[in-house]
């Protein structure tokens, strides 16, 4: 993107080894109901992390604790090495300026031009007009809307409004960008454009991004790592591809519905405790996804294994997938040998039962 080289990054220099964000055993209750229940997490500099969860999981409370709008009753919220949990409002202001926010509904001021909206945080911070307008034009160039500087929000599409929201969030050169359901109000094509922009911003500026969303597809496209929040607790976390390949909790499996292959209903109905051939489910991630699994199975069973359903995909260049295999035999000793061989070579393996030979 033009002009990117003139926009300062956030994750370099002395102290770069300090995490951008660290939460230690954070608790926030409302009327004795825990919105956040012993939350601990770390966001490294330059990392894109997806935080997913259903409505009411605690995502909004977590954001408010990160930007200091809410205070935990226990634990620490550390931003760039500074514990903000007990800071006064005055002491919080410099830290807040290092945290950018982009919102689902853009939150642009309708009576101000695009340039004035982007300049607003700089004006509040007391930056001189000439310096802030220079910065504004750099950022509008970065998000591809330099020609809209004098337009008003009502003249923009939804995607353009979100680009302006991103430019405004970047204006004070933040360390951390919080994206709160930033693509939920956008159509799929515009969502893809905004995610591409955020990836470019992350790559060019070294910015740490926390994507708060209920859409796992958004996380799949952009995040390096995912955290799953349920009832105020982090119930699962890990590299996105690994969590997609083998979700460990019912909450995660529910949120992933539609992204991981599941057996068609007609095939599911034919599974029985006994039958002509064993049916197994194999989850693969990373190097496991590149192994010649079917050849290994046939060497044990003496029968060609058949792929009945499944598929492979990739996240950030890391492959993951789920395969449903009919082994061609119902011999329990051979089945045990197949499981023993594949278990160390796969992310997860499960015997689902038996199906007819003609399935």
Q: Are 204 and 295 contained in the same domain?
A: no
Decide: pTM greater than 0.85: no
- The strand pairing partners of 36, in sequence order, are 28
Residues 83 and 226 in one domain: yes
Tokens describing residue 228? 């799953």
Sign of the CA dihedral 258, 285, 177, 84? positive
pLDDT at 7 over 60: no
Instruction: Report the DSSP beta bridge partners of residue 80.
Output: none
Q: How many domains does the chain have?
A: 2
Judgement on whether residues 293 and 185 belong to the same structural domain of the protein:
no
Per-residue pLDDT tens over the stretch 19-48: 999 999 999 999 888 899 999 999 999 999
Does 4 score more than 80 pLDDT?
A: no
Higher-confidence residue of 260 and 60: namely 60
Query: Looking at residue 245, which CATH number applies to its domain?
Result: 3.40.50.300
Distance CA 238, CA 247 (A): 10
Decide if 259 is inside a domain.
no
At 10, the pLDDT band (50, 70, 90 cuts) reads very low
Q: Is 150 inside any structural domain? A: yes
Boundary of a domain, candidates 190, 223, 250: 250
H helices of 235-292, in order, are: 240-245, 250-255, 265-268
- Residues 133 and 174 occupy one common structural domain: yes
Is there a single domain that holds both residue 191 and residue 280?
Answer: no
| Angle at which helices 114-124 and 129-142 cross, to 10° | 130
Are residues 179 and 154 located together in one domain of the fold?
yes
- Domain assignment present for residue 41? The answer is yes
Query: Residue 256 domain-assigned?
Result: no
Instruction: Give, in degrees to the nearest 5, the angle at Cα 24 between 19 and 25.
Output: 160
CA dist., res. 32 & res. 75, Å (int): 16
Can you give the residue range of the structural domain that contains 238?
A: 4-250
Judgement on whether residues 189 and 289 belong to the same structural domain of the protein: no
One domain for residues 226 and 95: yes
202 part of a folded domain = yes
CATH code of residue 351: 3.30.70.260
* Assigned domain for 257 exists: no
Region of residue 75 (left: phi > 0; alpha: psi -120 to 50; beta: else): left
**Which helix or strand (DSSP H or E) is residue 310 part of?**
strand 306-315
Spell out a b/e string for 187-216, using b for 16 or more CB atoms within 10 Å of the CB, else e.
eeebbebbbebbbebbeebbbbbbbbbbbb
Give the model's confidence band at 267: pLDDT under 50 very low, under 70 low, under 90 confident, else very high. very high
pLDDT of residue 74: 94
pLDDT at 133 over 50: yes
Residue 260 lies in a domain: no
| 3-class DSSP state of 93 | helix
Geometric angle at alpha carbon 298, from 297 and 304, rounded to 5°: 120
Q: Are residues 222 and 280 in the same domain?
A: no
Secondary structure (DSSP) of 54-67: -TTSSHHHHHHHHT
Q: How far apart are the first and last CA of the chain?
A: 53
Q: What's the pLDDT at 285?
A: 85
Asked if residues 88 and 31 have their Cβ atoms less than 8 Å apart, the reply is: no
- Is 110 among the domain residues? yes
One domain for residues 193 and 277: no
Dmax (CA) for the chain in angstroms is 79
Residues 27 and 130 in one domain: yes
Query: Quick check: 276 and 310 in contact, CB under 8 A?
Result: no
Q: Which of 193, 226, 250 is where one domain is finished?
A: 250
Q: In angstroms, rounded to a whole number, what is the distance separating the alpha carbons of residues 237 and 228?
A: 6
347 contact partners, CB below 8 Å, separation of at least 6 = 242, 245, 246, 283, 284, 285, 288, 320
Cβ atoms of 297 and 337 within 8 Å: the answer is no
Q: How confident is the model at residue 292 (pLDDT cuts 50, 70, 90)?
A: confident
Based on the fold, state whether residues 39 and 101 are members of the same structural domain.
yes
User: Which of 194, 216, 250 delimits the end of a domain?
Assistant: 250
């Amino acid at each position: 993107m033009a002009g990117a080289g003139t926009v300062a990054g956030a994750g370099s220099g002395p102290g770069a080894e300090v995490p951008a964000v660290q939460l230690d055993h954070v608790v926030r209750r409302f009327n004795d109901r825990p919105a956040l229940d012993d939350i601990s997490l770390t966001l490294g500099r330059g990392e894109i992390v997806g935080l997913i969860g259903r409505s009411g999981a605690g995502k909004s409370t977590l954001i408010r604790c990160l930007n200091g709008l809410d205070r935990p009753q226990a634990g620490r919220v550390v931003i760039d090495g500074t514990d903000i949990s007990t800071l006064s409002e005055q002491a919080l202001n410099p830290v807040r300026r290092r945290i950018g926010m982009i919102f689902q509904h853009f939150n642009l001021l309708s009576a101000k031009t695009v340039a004035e909206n982007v300049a607003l945080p700089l004006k509040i911070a007391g930056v001189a007009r000439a310096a802030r307008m220079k910065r504004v034009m750099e950022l509008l160039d970065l998000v591809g809307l330099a020609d809209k500087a004098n337009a008003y929000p009502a003249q923009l599409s939804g995607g353009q409004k979100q680009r302006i929201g991103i430019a405004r969030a970047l204006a004070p050169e933040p360390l951390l960008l919080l994206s709160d359901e930033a693509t939920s109000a956008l159509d799929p094509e515009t969502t893809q454009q905004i995610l591409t922009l955020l990836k470019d911003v992350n790559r060019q500026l070294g910015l740490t991004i926390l994507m708060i969303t209920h859409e796992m597809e958004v996380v799949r496209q952009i995040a390096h790592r995912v955290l799953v929040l349920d009832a105020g607790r982090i119930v699962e976390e890990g590299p996105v591809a690994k969590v997609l390949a083998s979700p460990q909790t019912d909450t995660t499996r529910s949120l992933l519905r539609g992204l991981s292959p599941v057996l068609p209903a007609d095939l599911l109905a034919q599974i029985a405790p006994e039958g002509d051939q064993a049916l197994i489910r194999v989850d693969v991630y990373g190097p496991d996804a590149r192994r010649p699994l079917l050849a290994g199975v046939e060497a044990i069973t003496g029968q060609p294994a058949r792929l009945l359903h499944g598929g492979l995909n990739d996240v950030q260049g890391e492959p993951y997938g789920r395969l449903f295999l009919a082994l061609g035999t119902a011999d329990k000793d051979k089945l045990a040998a197949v499981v023993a061989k594949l278990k160390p070579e796969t992310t997860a393996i499960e015997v689902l039962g038996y199906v007819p030979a003609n399935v």
